[in-house]
Chain A
Amino acid sequence: MSKSITKLSKEEVMHVAKLANLPLNENEGEKLKEQLSATIDYINHLAELDNKVKSLPPTYQVTGKENALRDDITRPGLTREEALKNARRSYNGFFVVPSVWD
């Protein structure tokens, strides 16, 4: 099997971390860079099957199910207490986060 060596740059890694909303410091980014590159090397093996899968449709749903729908009726949900129970911060019935506006 031919192997192509993937070399992710630190910028790429930090960009992915930002997309993934993962707080990574420089060191962690460096470490992950190596591991991710190795994994990407491995999954690139999938390309070897390209001839066999070219004309195949993708399978997103193995059950073959279609039209799994529900009627438009209401059902009891959570009380406000239950909804807020596990929040780190709540206030007057709301969840609280640091301001998203500067």
Chain B
Amino acid sequence: MPIGYQTIIGLEVHVELATVSKMFCGCSAEHFGVEPNTHTCPVCLGLPGALPVPNKKAIDWTLMLAMALDCRINQHSHFDRKNYFYPDLPKGYQITQFEEPFGYDGCLKLTAIKSALMSTVSQQKVIRIRRVHLEEDTGKLQHTEIGGEKVTLVDFNRSGVPLVEIVTEPDFRSLEEVDLYLKKLQKIIRYLGISQADMEKGSMRIEPSISIRVNKNNGQIQFPMPNDQLPDYRVELKNINSFRFARKALEYEIKRQTDLLEKGEKIPQQTRGWNEEKNVTFPQREKEEAHDYRYFPEPDIPPIVLDNEQLAIIKKQIPELPDQKLVRFQRDYSLSDYDAGILTENQELGDYFEEAVKAAGEIGQLKTGNIVKTIANWLINKRIETENTLPAELIAKIIRANTIAAVDEGKLSGIVKEVLGANKQAVNDYQKGKKTALGFLMGAVIKLLPGVDKELIRKELEKQLF
């Protein structure tokens, strides 16, 4: 990037909530891999006379997320209609939130993990969250040809599925920050248990906005100040369905925009799509050109009013979040920043770790140094199948291995030599071909070295008997 040029990025993330039913009707919210138009009803199909009734759980979960992102909560909130025409929008309007989103003015702190540090990442960065609101998803379009005619096919299974939209201020200044934010946001959402937030399956979608600011006077990268002068345009990117493509698309855009700006050209405000085959962004011409959405409050849905008690109940439902867990792991288990980070990568691993530590405590008799550190080590460095191994079983394995490690080779070979010396008859039998003699000899060694790995004993015996 040339000196004096700065990347300005804002992110809009949509997350499909994993509710059982849709946002405004009782249809199943499952749509991935489902036969087209089999999860519909008059409401989500937009038939005449149908009326929306909001899903309480979707609202609770949205509030939980808003709180987890340190947002202020609108205790008086409502839904609005966003009016526009498109074949995947059955009512000709989307029920969303415009004026009173459930959450606003929140933030997400980014912390770079030391070993992943790259030169352009700051140690700590606060990304401001402008709003967190709830809306319904549209149907899905597919483009194909029927008898030579180009057509678009519409499936309304996804129409009406609840979506939470999280919008940031244009606070990102590097792709590493974008990456950290997305990964952390995804982690929080998964910890809350409100969505799988899977980009490949479409339950998490990102729409970055990117522009380049030209700071003619200085080339220093700065933290954004609230009254920063932003460029007079921005480019929105759509159709990005993985973190990898997000990075590629943004890299491409940074180069494209920088090149244009260096030539002295003006960059038009537009929406561009990402073409993953050609690895380029391209301008999208959407039929809804006039972006006058004529928002007005949804008359079919009374407002949502939350008192402090109700908010407190929802807040209680929030489990320990990744940041809190990280801090606690470092404090309670004396783990390093890095180790704690890995163990809190997902909720399941962190929980497993703690259960293993508890199990170790119950078994008690471990003389092998810092059991906590050992457990952490195993989970981080070895491939433990945590779904198939109970924490107690893991402890048993560790005990065995540690006890095994406590035996040094010299001691083992010495004891085996002793046993062989004291059991000449068995040695003879073995050398004559009687395999059961080995078992007898093994038993003798085990008596003297209880808990030692039988394989090691067998190997040493075989070595000495040879």
Contacts and interface: CB of A to CB of B under 8 A. Distances in A.
Interface of A: 15, 18-19, 21, 60-61, 63, 65-75, 77-80, 83-84, 91-102
Nearest to B146: A91
B151 A101 contact: no
Contacts of A72: 19-21, 55-58
30 contacts: A15-B290, A19-B294, A60-B303, A67-B302, A69-B53, A69-B59, A69-B304, A70-B53, A70-B55, A70-B56, A73-B20, A73-B26, A74-B28, A75-B21, A75-B25, A75-B41, A77-B41, A80-B35, A93-B37, A94-B36, A94-B142, A95-B154, A96-B152, A96-B153, A97-B87, A97-B152, A98-B150, A99-B151, A100-B86, A101-B150
Interface string B6-32: 000000000000011100011110000
B299 interface: yes
A80 B53 CA distance: 22
Interface residues of B, number: 52
A94 B38 CA distance: 10
Nearest to A75: B26
Contact of B26 (A69, A74, A97): A74
A39 B150 CA distance: 42
B283 to A, nearest CB: 12
B424 interface: no
Contacts of A97: 87, 151-152, 154
Interface of B: 19-21, 25-28, 35-42, 44-45, 53-59, 78, 85-87, 92, 141-143, 146, 150-156, 285, 287, 290, 292, 294, 297, 299, 301-305
Contacts of A95: 37, 87, 153-156
A74 B301 CA distance: 20
Given A77-B39, A93-B155, A101-B143, 5 more contacts: A19-B294, A60-B78, A69-B53, A100-B87, A101-B150
A57 B336 CA distance: 56
B54 A68 contact: yes
Contacts of B56: 69-72
B274 to A, nearest CB: 15
A21 B91 CA distance: 13
Contact of A99 (B36, B45, B150): B150
Contacts of B59: 69
A69 to B, nearest CB: 4
